[in-house]
Amino acid sequence: METPPNLPVGWVAQWDSVQQRHLFIETATGRSQWENPAQFPAGPIAPIDTQGQVPHGQPHQSSKRRQYATGQTQAYYGSAEPAPYADPSYGQPQPGGQLFTPGLAAEAGFAGQQGAPAYFAPPDTGYANGQYPQQPVQQPNMNQVTNQFAQMGLGGQKPYALQTVNLLAGQPDPRDLHRPTPEIRLPPNASISQSPYVNADPSYKRSTINAVPTTSSMLNKSKVPFALILTPYRSLKEGDEPVPVVTDTVIARCRRCRTYINPYVQFIDGGNRWKCCMCSMSNEVPQLFDWDQARNAPGDRWSRPELNHSVVEFVAPTEYMVRPPQPPVYCFLIDVSHAAVQSGMVATATRTILESLDRIPNEDNRTKIAIIGFDVSLYFFTLAPGSTESSMLVVSDLDDVFLPKPTDLLVNLTESRSAIEGLLGRLSDMFQDSHTVGSAMGPALQAGFKLIQSMGGKLVALSSSLPTLGAGTLKNREDIKLLGTPKESTLLQPASSFYKTFAIECSRAQVSVDMFLFSSSYTDIASLSCLPHYTSGQTYFYPAFNASRTEDALKFAHEFSTVLASPICFEAVMRVRASKGLRMSEFHGNFFVRSTDLLAMPSVPIDQSYAIEVQIEETLTAPFVVLQTAVLHTTAFGERRIRVCNLALPTTTNMSEVYSSVDEIALATLFANKAVERTISHKLEDARDAITNKLIEIMTNYKNTMTAAGSGASAQLAISENMKMLPILCLGLLKNVGLRQSAQIPVDLRAYAQTLLTTMPSQLLIPYIHPTFYSLHSMPPEAGTVGEHGIILPPPLPLSSERLERHGLYLIEDGQTIFLWIGRDAVPQLVMDVFNLPSYTELRGGKMTLPLLDNPFSQRVNAIIAKTREMRRGPYWPHLYVVKEDADPALRLWALSSLIMDRAEQLPSYQQYLGQIKDKVNGTTY
Amino acid sequence: MGGEGWLFLFALLISAVLLFVMVFFIIMFSDLECDYINPIDLCNKLNQFVLPENAAHAFLTIIFLLSGQWVAFLLNAPLLAFNVNKVLKKNHMYDATEIFRTLSGHKKESFIKLGFYLLSFFYYLYRFIVALIADSE
């Protein structure tokens, strides 16, 4: 036995013969630990002993900071074993202060551990790089900290700890939007694989509730809608794992419900049969399932990707084809009228196509291209293979569109490359002196459709004016008197049935339409966007486009070339299958519902989101349910594939588990989809009320069932911790351009905002309804520099103009626009550093490109803007507007409307909104 | 047989035809639910019958009005107003893009119309017989 080292007062050392070392016991509390309590304050290096045991907290510290840290560690270690997904910083002894290891200092953990004021804490790198911070930032509130740690510490099977927070007590912290989704706690052995990828990543598929109530009455009672938010085709950013591909065309499916084999099935009968996880049918395992066809040797079943990954792609055999896979087909319909040529749209578009010719998916040299110009007539171009010349054929009969030539209009990109390049180079000059006004867009669409209907493909329409000739003629119906009135929603409905019936025709022929609209005046996006809506395309809008402004040209060229280069899929159908008792009831997004649960998508654009509502039809008896999305499609390189995306969710009979598993981001995405649909079928007012009422319903029921207040009145506004950002997201939706109560919003902008609200994946949608707000003049020194995960962003501020100081420089961005707000008392040095101008008065507001200057501040600001532009998925390249505090009131108001926590026009501030909700919640009793 | 007898015999035949049209609609809707028909074909098929059905009903109602059959007219007036309202609002046609969302509403409407035509069929039959008896006396 060794002599015990010197001990602080109140401690005794006891020799443990088994461990062959001292056990230190605190006499006052009876707490014991292996480490010598006297050593910690001295040594800077954390003592981790050989057995990997973790040193416990330190008793009786003298400084305040240490006491706090001790409390945290106790709270943490006091609960069960570390959560499986916990940050490494939890597993290692490094709470602020006492066990601080300099080399190991994870900045992420540090801010919170220090107990610094929430909003001005140094930024944590994890968040700043667009990743989820593993640890929510704590407010210096011991109880809450304890609760939070307690919740995280709960192991696999323990119930969700429901934590109630009072919304009235604190301000929402924008960082909470990046918290991980509530954990999906599947029963042990739910999946046959131990792979961490057995459940889909939230960016592919997420559910509004991660624990499904067993009965529909319970779901109704909870008032939380059950829906899936899907983005089956999302882009792979750097660091994302590619989707594994099953190449051997052995596709095991359930005989009865046609479910694809997935990690949640069970192998029975010695592995010769498998039991379907949806309908419990016993199926035979295909003979070649255990055969490695590449090596022609027996393979390992357990290493098959479809049993280890939730998102997999199967290469489909010929049974999945009705015809040979189609080649990628692009038909460009370019408006060559006076307005289009003058704005520079034609020149920019043709140049972008020309530059993107190498990026258009064309791996097997099958891609076909056609170019049709239109103003009051249609201009076809023959692009004979091998020649560099193209000839133009004019068709002015718009009533009965015909193709002037059976061949050479739709040509192979590789074979006719020189002719296409020649045409694209000349197209803008050919119509340089055109003075024709008018647009035969409808007939052009019909012509393009005729050209590609036998194959299917993509129609890309670029238009600078309202269609005025032939089929699909639209009138200028914008009536300023109607704006802000209940009649406004009539302007958001399609004016002509052509765009719906034509969309259906397109969908049948596997033709998808993208719209790029450039008009400076009304173009009736509400009607035109119908076409992309039902053919799985996308609408892009560049109001008052003018290519002489480099920003405009750059934005369009960037987005257009990204769209052209994206690896899209063709002739797709999507179906969601679910465990017995669940039924997909409503579908929201850009597709055509071809039968009760089959969604037809002529093309699958990348990064488009769909929302599907789920109904519980009968009582769920299984401990967990599986929801499987399958997208059968043809890839851009001519392979028929099926992308399967599985999500397994546990079932529960406990209402508090339902609440504590709500995914507020998914819920907000669903609300956005439903609200937009409601504005079209009902009124804008109704759509807004529906959002607030739903929120009130959830809150009321939460208060009645989950809090002590019961159905009585309460001074608090209680909601579970994981839903605390829901009110601000709802408020953000109400204040979004697509839904806001205002008589100032042009119909086109509203309709465009609505198309964005229904198509953007959560990652883009959340900043769109809850913009990000940074203070640049007072950002921490590391912000804007390159950190471990790329450029470090400053900490986001709450969206309130209280934060705007008169001498400051701020950045507000919503993924579509970036505002650089500069206060009127900005010091000349700041203006000099950022804009290279001598003083604030010299600075002009508006769209601009920030100069990259030779000083660190300018470089950091530019780096932050660059990071903002590229960190999210999707083709969007936001404009940068410089907003001077005393400048152009329109621009100023626009920028300020992003600060959604403020009162604006008739719309309440966040506190007022909470007040309204609280009154309603207390007012209604059951 | 007098004018009234002929009138109700005619009404009887029309309502029988309308009855069958409604049965056809309902069958088609349930076919759609069972995935025996796709929404595009369904809408194309049903939309051919919508206006003729409305017109036949309107014609019958107006004949009742002109011939002074007030009870029969008042029975039919609400449905006529409903149909006219729909046509004026331009949502009388079935929309293939929205059909799954509105299917339950369409089915309900068809069932109510079916019931209405059935009742009016018996009413016209009764009035036809009454008219015949009155004639023979």
pLDDT over threshold 50, residue A519: yes
DSSP string, A164-175: EEETTTSPPPGG
Gap from B78 CA to chain A (nearest CA, Å): 24
Residues sharing a CB contact under 8 Å with residue A384, sequence separation 6 or more, in sequence order: A390, A408, A411, A416, A419
Residues sharing a CB contact under 8 Å with residue B80, sequence separation 6 or more, in sequence order: B57, B58, B61
CA distance A135 to A151: 12
Helix (H) or strand (E) holding A926, with range, is none
Residues of chain A contacting residue B96, judged by C-beta atoms under 8 Å apart: 500, 504, 592
Q: Are A722 and A664 in contact (CB under 8 A)?
A: yes
Instruction: Compute the average pLDDT of residues A463-469.
Output: 87
Q: Are A406 and A437 in contact (CB under 8 A)?
A: no
Gap from A655 CA to chain B (nearest CA, Å): 30
How many domains is chain B built from? 1
CB B39 to CB A593 under 8 A? yes
Q: Are A777 and A830 in contact (CB under 8 A)?
A: yes
Least confident piece of the model among A80-89, A150-159, A198-207, A794-803: A80-89
Residues of chain A contacting residue B32, judged by C-beta atoms under 8 Å apart: 595-596
Gap from A578 CA to chain B (nearest CA, Å): 18
CB A595 to CB B38 under 8 A? yes
Interface of B with A (CB under 8 A): 32-33, 35, 38-40, 95-97, 99-101
| Integer CA distances (angstroms), A382 to A255, A334, A388, A429, A452, in order | 50, 15, 11, 18, 15
Query: What pLDDT, in 10s, does the model give residues A98-125?
Result: 333 343 333 333 333 333 333 333 334 3
Compare all CA atoms of chain B with the CA of A587 and give the residue at the minimum distance: B101
Residues sharing a CB contact under 8 Å with residue A860, sequence separation 6 or more, in sequence order: A779, A783, A784, A785
Which of the two residues, A832 and A353, has the higher pLDDT score? A353
Instruction: Compute the average pLDDT of residues A189-204.
Output: 80
Q: Are A679 and A492 in contact (CB under 8 A)?
A: yes
The complex's ipTM works out to 0.81
pLDDT over threshold 70, residue A55: no
A-B Cβ pairs (cutoff 8 Å, strict):
28
Structure tokens at A629: 């999305």
Q: Name the percent of chain B lying above pLDDT 70.
A: 99
Q: Which residue has the tokens 């501030």?
A: A909
Residues of chain A contacting residue B38, judged by C-beta atoms under 8 Å apart: 594-595
Query: What pLDDT, in 10s, does the model give residues A285-299?
Result: 888 888 777 778 777
CB A594 to CB B39 under 8 A? yes
Domains of chain A: 40-158 (no CATH), 245-305 (2.30.30.380), 329-480+493-567 (3.40.50.410), 663-769+907-926 (1.20.120.730), 771-899 (3.40.20.10)
CA distance B118 to B120: 5
Residues of chain A contacting residue B101, judged by C-beta atoms under 8 Å apart: 586
CB B100 to CB A596 under 8 A? yes
Instruction: Compute the average pLDDT of residues A687-698.
Output: 88
What is the pLDDT at residue A91?
37
Which DSSP state fits A43?
-
What single letter denotes the amino acid at residue A872?
Answer: R
pLDDT over threshold 70, residue A874: yes
What is the pLDDT at residue A152?
44
Residues of chain A contacting residue B102, judged by C-beta atoms under 8 Å apart: none
Longest dimension (CA), chain B: 58
3-state secondary structure string across A692-747: HHHHHHHHHHHHHHHCCCCCCCCCCCEEEHHHCCHHHHHHHHHCCCCCCCCCCCCH
Gap from A203 CA to chain B (nearest CA, Å): 27
Compare all CA atoms of chain A with the CA of B96 and give the residue at the minimum distance: A504
- pLDDT category at A30 given cuts 50, 70, 90 is low
- Mutation to test the A interface, candidates B40, B95, B97, most A Cβ within 10 Å: B97
CA distance A251 to A921: 52
Q: Are A883 and A559 in contact (CB under 8 A)?
A: no
How far from each other are the two terminal CA atoms of chain B, in whole angstroms? Answer: 11
Distance, C-alpha A97 to centroid of its chain: 37
Instruction: Compute the average pLDDT of residues A775-800.
Output: 80
Least confident piece of the model among A104-108, B40-44, B66-70: A104-108
CB A500 to CB B101 under 8 A? no
What single letter denotes the amino acid at residue A209?
Answer: I
- Mutation to test the A interface, candidates B100, B104, B107, most A Cβ within 10 Å: B100
Gap from A501 CA to chain B (nearest CA, Å): 8
CB A594 to CB B33 under 8 A? no
What is the pLDDT at residue A63?
39
Q: From the list B32, B35, B40, which residue is nearest A504 (CB)?
A: B40
Least confident piece of the model among A109-118, A883-892, B28-37: A109-118
Question: CA-based angle A441:A443:A449, to the nearest 5?
Answer: 100
Gap from B21 CA to chain A (nearest CA, Å): 23
Q: Are A788 and A778 in contact (CB under 8 A)?
A: no
Gap from A612 CA to chain B (nearest CA, Å): 12
Residues of chain B contacting residue A596, judged by C-beta atoms under 8 Å apart: 32-33, 35, 100
Gap from A894 CA to chain B (nearest CA, Å): 35
CA distance A707 to A709: 5
pLDDT over threshold 70, residue A479: yes
Q: From the list A508, A534, A596, which residue is nearest B97 (CB)?
A: A534
CA distance A892 to A897: 9
Query: What pLDDT, in 10s, does the model give residues A367-410?
Result: 888 889 888 888 888 888 877 778 888 888 888 888 888 878 88
CB A595 to CB B101 under 8 A? no
What mean pLDDT, rounded, does chain A reach?
A: 78
Gap from B106 CA to chain A (nearest CA, Å): 15
Q: Are A599 and A536 in contact (CB under 8 A)?
A: no
Instruction: Compute the average pLDDT of residues A31-52.
Output: 49
CB A500 to CB B97 under 8 A? yes
Phi, psi of A824 (to 5 degrees): -70, -20
CB A596 to CB B39 under 8 A? no
Gap from A137 CA to chain B (nearest CA, Å): 43
Instruction: Compute the average pLDDT of residues A540-556.
Output: 86
DSSP string, B42-93: HHHHHHHHHHHHHHHHHHHHHHHHHTT-HHHHHHHHHHHHHHHHHHHTT--S
pLDDT over threshold 90, residue A420: no
What single letter denotes the amino acid at residue A552?
Answer: D
Neighbours of A103 (CB within 10 A): 6
Q: From the list A508, A586, A587, which residue is nearest B40 (CB)?
A: A508
Entry field: residues in chain B: 137
- pLDDT category at A322 given cuts 50, 70, 90 is confident
DSSP string, A86-135: --HHHHS---TTTT--GGG--HHHHHHHHT--TTTSPPPHHHHTTSPPSS
Expressed as residue numbers, the domain containing B114 is 3-136
**Beta bridge partners of residue B125, listed in sequence order:** none
Q: From the list A592, A595, A598, which residue is nearest B97 (CB)?
A: A592
The rounded radius of gyration (Å) of the Cα atoms in chain B is 17
CB B39 to CB A587 under 8 A? no
Interface of A with B (CB under 8 A): 500, 503-504, 508, 534, 586-587, 592-596, 598
Phi, psi of A805 (to 5 degrees): -100, 155
Residues of chain A contacting residue B40, judged by C-beta atoms under 8 Å apart: 504, 508
Question: CA-based angle A507:A510:A515, to the nearest 5?
Answer: 70
Exposure string of B31-56, with b = 16+ CB inside 10 Å and e = fewer, is ebeeeebbbbebbeebeeebeebbee
Residues of chain B contacting residue A500, judged by C-beta atoms under 8 Å apart: 95-97
Residues of chain B contacting residue A586, judged by C-beta atoms under 8 Å apart: 101
Helix (H) or strand (E) holding A382, with range, is strand A378-382
Least confident piece of the model among A427-441, B57-71, B107-121: A427-441
What is the pLDDT at residue A123?
38
DSSP string, B11-37: HHHHHHHHHHHHHHHHHHHHHHHTTSS
Residues of chain A contacting residue B35, judged by C-beta atoms under 8 Å apart: 595-596, 598
Phi, psi of B91 (to 5 degrees): -120, 30
Across A163-298, the runs of DSSP E, i.e. the strands, are 164-166, 205-207, 212-213, 227-230, 245-246, 266-268, 273-275, 282-284, 291-292, 297-298
Which of A161-165, A179-183, A873-877, B122-126 shows the highest mean pLDDT? Answer: B122-126
Entry field: residues in chain A: 926
Q: Helices (DSSP H) in A431-537: which residue ranges? A: 441-452, 488-492, 498-508, 525-528, 530-534
